Chain A
Amino acid sequence: MKLHRLVIGAMALAAATAFAQQPVRIGGTLALTGPLAATGANHKVAGEIYVEELNKRGGLLGRKVEWVLKDDQSKPDLARTLYEQLITVDKVDLLIGPYATANIVAAVGVAQRYNKIIFHHTAGVPGLLKYDMQFPTGGLPADPEVSLPELVFDAVAHAPKPPKTVAIVTSKFPSVHFISVGARDVAKKRGLQEVTWLEWDFPNRDYGPIAARVKEANADFLFIGAIGVEGLLLLDALKKIDYTPPMHFHMFPAGGPMAKSPVAQHALALTTFEQHPPFTDNPVAAAFVKTYNERAAKAGLADTSVDLQAAASYATWQTLEAAVKGANSIDDKAMAAWLKKNHVDTIMGQLRWETANNYMPGARLYKVKQLQDGKWLVVWPPQFAAPGAKLLAP
C-alpha cells in the first residue's frame, strides 16, 4: 500500500514538473508581409525583445514563454483564420493582437467566440470593439476623433502665429479617416475656418492634383489624415509645385522616411513615446531603446528608432505580464478581472481600462511631436517636450 502511494506521488510530481516545464504559449499575428508590413516589422522586433527579456527574468508563473507568431499578410480575413488556428490547433494559452484596426477587429471577433482575453495595441476606431475581454494597450483614447484633434489644435494654437484657416485632407484608411472626420467638427468648434476638405483612396498613386488643390487653398494649417508615407508623398508633390505649407500635421506617419526627407522639416505628428527625455528617464524604457536600436538595425529596418509603434508593442507585453502576475494565473477571466481593477505602468505611461469598451478616457498618453533637423522631438504638452524643444513654425 505504501509503495502504491509512493508511486502515485512520484507520478503526480513528475506530471506537475512536466507541466511547469511546458512554456506559456502566446499566440498572435502581425502584418509581416503586405501593405502594413513596414510597421508590422517594428512590432515584431519589439515583441521578440520583450519575450527574450521576460524569459531571462524567469518567464510567467515559473514557465518559459513562447511567442507563436504568424503572418496575416495585412489581411483581416486571414487574421481571422489564423486566430482560429491559434486557438483550436496550436492551442495557445493567451492571445496578443495583430497590427492595425481591421485586423484587430477580426482577431477580437475570434477571441470573443472562444471567451479568450486579447491584448491589442493599434485599433484606431474604439466604437468597433465592444467585447469586454479585449484590452487596448496603445494608449488611444475612447474618443480619438475628438481628443486627438483637440490635442493637435491645442498644440498649433500655441505656435508663434496660431492658424486661422485649416485644410483637412485625408486618406480613406479606416482609423485616420475616422479621426480626420472628427477633426472637422473640432476645428469648427474652435473657430478655425476650414478652407478645404479632401479624401483619397488608400493607397493612392498620384498626389499631384491633391497638391495643386492644397496649394490653391493655402491654409495656415494643413491637417493630413495620413498613414505610412502618404503624407510624405503629398509633401513631395507640394514641393514639386513650389509650395510649403506653413504648418503641417501627419496623423500616423512612417517616421523614418520622413526624418530623412528635407521636405518634411517641421512636420507634426502624434506619438506616445520618443527616444529622448523625459521618456528615457525611465530605466526600463532606456534599456529597451538601446536594444531596439540594435535589433532594428540588425533586422535591416530603415528606421531603427523607438516611437509610438514599437512603444505600443512593448506596453502590450508589459500589460500581459502584469495581468498574469497580478492574477497569478493565465486564466482569461481572472486576468480580465484583475485588469479592470488595476492599472499598469508602461514605458508610455499608466494604462487603465475604465471606460465601457476598455479604452482610456481622454488623450492622456498622447503627445504632439515635431520633426526638427531630422529628429522627432515631442513639443506638446510642454511637460513632455524634449529638453529645450518647442513648436517651430514660420
Chain B
Amino acid sequence: MPSAALLGQSLLSGIFIGALYGLLGLGLSLAWGLLGQINLAHFALAFLGAYLTYQLSAAGMDPLVTLVVIVPAFFLFGAALHWVLARFAVSAFNSLLVTFGLTVVIEAAIQWIWSADFRRLESHYADVRYRLGALYIPLPELITLALAIVLSLALWAALRHTDLGKAMRAAAEDASMAQAFGVNARALALLLSGISAALAGVAGLCIALSYTLAPSQIYAWVGVVFAVVMLGGLGNALGPLIAGFVIGVSEAITMALTAPSWAPLVSFSLLIALLVLRPEKL
C-alpha cells in the first residue's frame, strides 16, 4: 500500500507537469481556436526558447531575466509567421504542414548551433526546494506553476473582460462581420499570433529550468500537449491549464500506483473517452 507521502508527492508532481502541459498548450490553443492555425512549430519554438535561456544564462544572465529578451523576440517572430501564413492564405490544414516544415527547420538550426549533444542549464533555482510536512516543492516547478496560472488567468480575463479580447473573439467567430463593426481583424491576428509565440518562449524557460535539452525532444511533447489542447477546448485560455492538471495528475497517480510505463496511456484514454462521450465539446 503506497504511503500518504508517496501519493502526496506524486500528486504534486502531477500538478507541476500538468502546469507545463497547460503552459505549452495555452499558445497552441489560442492560435488554433482563434486564428485557425494548427501551429506545430509551437513546440520547436518552445525548445528554441529553452536553448536561448540556456545560452543567455551561460553568458551570465539570470534565467528569469532572459524573458526580457526572449518574449519580445518571440512575439515579433510569431507576428511575422502569421503575416506570412495570411499573405499566402494558408488554410488550417495546410498550416499544419507548413509549421511542421518550420519545426524541422528550427530543429536543424538548434542542432547546427548547439549540436545534438545534451545541454543542461545549471542554475541556482535548481538547488532551492521548500518543505511542506513530508512533501517537497522544488522552486523551478513552482515557477512553472506560477507562470502557468498567472498567464492563463490573465489571458482568460483579457479575452473575456476587455474590449480587445472581445474583439479577438468576435474576429475569430466571424472576421468579416467583426470588421464591419470596426474591428481590425488583421492587426488583432498579428497580436494574437505574437502572444502565442511569446507564450512558447515562456514555456521554453520552464523547460530549460527543469529538463536536460536535446533537439529531438521537441517531439516528445507533441502528443500529450495536443491531448491537453483538445481536452481543454480550442481557444479557451483556462482550458489547457485545467486539462493539463487532469492529465498530469492522472499520469502521476498511475505511475505511483501501477507500472510507470502505463502512464502515457492515460492522456489518450481520456481524450478518446471525451471524444466518445462528449464530442460536442471538441
Q: Residues of A at under 8 Å CB distance from B?
A: 32-35, 37-38, 40-41, 74, 172, 198-201, 203-206, 208-213, 215-216, 228-229, 232-233, 236-237, 240-242, 254, 256-257, 260-261, 299-303
Contacts and interface: CB of A to CB of B under 8 A. Distances in A.
Interface stretch (B148-156, B157-165, B259-267): B259-267
Contacts of A256: 117-118
A254 B212 CA distance: 11
Contacts, number: 135
Chain B CB within 10 Å, residue with most, of A34, A198, A206: A206
B214 to A, nearest CB: 6
Contacts of B118: 38, 228-229, 254, 256-257, 302
B138 A74 contact: no
A228 to B, nearest CB: 7
A241 B252 contact: no
Contact of A208 (B16, B115, B129, B217): B16
Interface in B1-55: 2-3, 5-6, 9-10, 12-14, 16-17
A212 B13 contact: yes
A213 B256 contact: yes
B220 A203 contact: yes
B220 A205 contact: yes
A212 B17 CA distance: 15
A172 to B, nearest CB: 6
Contacts of A302: 115, 117-119
Given A37-B215, A228-B118, 14 more contacts: A34-B216, A38-B214, A203-B217, A206-B13, A206-B263, A208-B12, A209-B255, A211-B9, A215-B9, A216-B2, A229-B120, A241-B136, A242-B136, A302-B117
A208 B252 contact: yes
Contacts of A215: 6, 9
Chain A CB within 10 Å, residue with most, of B116, B214, B251, B260: B116
Contact of B221 (A33, A205, A212): A205
A222 to B, nearest CB: 15
17 contacts: A33-B108, A35-B214, A37-B214, A38-B116, A40-B116, A172-B261, A198-B259, A198-B260, A199-B261, A206-B13, A206-B255, A208-B12, A210-B260, A211-B9, A212-B5, A236-B126, A240-B129
B114 interface: yes
Nearest to B111: A33
Contacts of A204: 260
Nearest to B11: A209
Given A34-B216, A206-B252, A208-B16, A261 B263 contact: no
Nearest to B253: A209
Chain A CB within 10 Å, residue with most, of B111, B224, B260, B263: B260
A201 B13 contact: no
Contact of B252 (A199, A209, A301): A209
Contacts of A240: 129, 136, 138, 141
Contact of B17 (A35, A199, A206, A229): A206
B8 to A, nearest CB: 9
A265 B171 CA distance: 56
A270 to B, nearest CB: 19
Contacts of B13: 206, 208-209, 211-212, 237
B224 A37 contact: no
Contacts of B215: 33, 37
Contacts of B220: 203, 205
A209 B138 CA distance: 14
Interface of B: 2-3, 5-6, 9-10, 12-14, 16-17, 107-108, 111, 114-120, 122, 126, 129, 131, 136, 138, 141, 210-212, 214-217, 220-221, 224, 248, 251-253, 255-256, 259-261, 263-264
Contacts of B117: 38, 41, 256, 300-303
Contact of B256 (A40, A201, A212, A229): A212
B17 A205 contact: yes
Contacts of B16: 208
A146 to B, nearest CB: 24
A118 B242 CA distance: 53
B194 to A, nearest CB: 28
B139 to A, nearest CB: 9
B212 A212 contact: no
A352 to B, nearest CB: 33
B116 A209 contact: no
A79 to B, nearest CB: 16
A212 B9 contact: yes
Contacts of A303: 117
B120 A209 contact: no
Contacts of B255: 200, 206, 209-210, 213
A212 B129 contact: no
Contacts of B116: 32-33, 37-38, 40-41
Contact of B129 (A38, A228, A242): A242
Given A206-B13, A216-B3, A257-B120, A201 B261 contact: yes
Contact of A37 (B10, B126, B216): B216
Contacts of B122: 260-261
Nearest to A301: B117
Contacts of B251: 206
Contacts of B115: 38, 41, 299-302
Nearest to A303: B117
A240 to B, nearest CB: 4
Contacts of A205: 17, 220-221, 224
Contact of B10 (A74, A199, A209): A209
Contacts of A300: 114-115, 117
A208 B17 contact: yes
A181 B13 CA distance: 27
A87 to B, nearest CB: 27
Contacts of A208: 9-10, 12-14, 16-17, 252
A127 B162 CA distance: 65
